[in-house]
Amino acid sequence: MIEYWETVSSFEEQEKYQRRVPFVSVTNEMINQWEDWQPFEDPSGKYLPPVFSIEEAAEIEEFQKVWNEVASNTLDPLPALETLKRNPEWEKLLAAGKKALETFMKRGKLDEKNGNTEQEVGTDG
* pLDDT, tens only, 16-64: 999 999 999 999 999 999 998 888 889 999 999 999 999 999 999 999 9
Sign of CA dihedral 19, 22, 28, 31: negative
Which residue ranges make up each domain of the chain? Answer: 2-92+102-121
Of 14, 24, 2, the closest CA to residue 94 belongs to 14
Query: How is residue 9 annotated by DSSP?
Result: T
Alpha-carbon gap, residue 99 to 60, rounded angstroms: 10
| Spatial contact of 79 and 90, defined as CB atoms under 8 Å apart | no
- Give me the pLDDT at residue 120, please: 47
Separation CA 2–CA 12 (nearest Å):
16
Sorted by sequence, the CB contacts under 8 Å of residue 93 that are 6+ apart come out as 8, 30, 66, 67, 70
Task: Give the pLDDT band (50/70/90) at residue 121.
Answer: very low
Please report, rounded to a whole number, the percentage of residues in the chain having pLDDT higher than 90.
Answer: 76
Is the model more confident about 123 or about 104? 104
pTM of the entire structure? 0.86
- Taking the C-alpha atoms of residue 125 and residue 123, their distance in angstroms, rounded to an integer, is 6
CB-based contact 73:18 (threshold 8 Å): no
66-70, 98-102, 112-116, 121-125: which range is least confident on average?
121-125
Residue 7 has pLDDT above 80, yes or no: yes
Whether residue 124 is predicted with pLDDT greater than 60 in this model: the reply is no
Please give the Cα distance from 86 to 119 (Å, whole number).
35
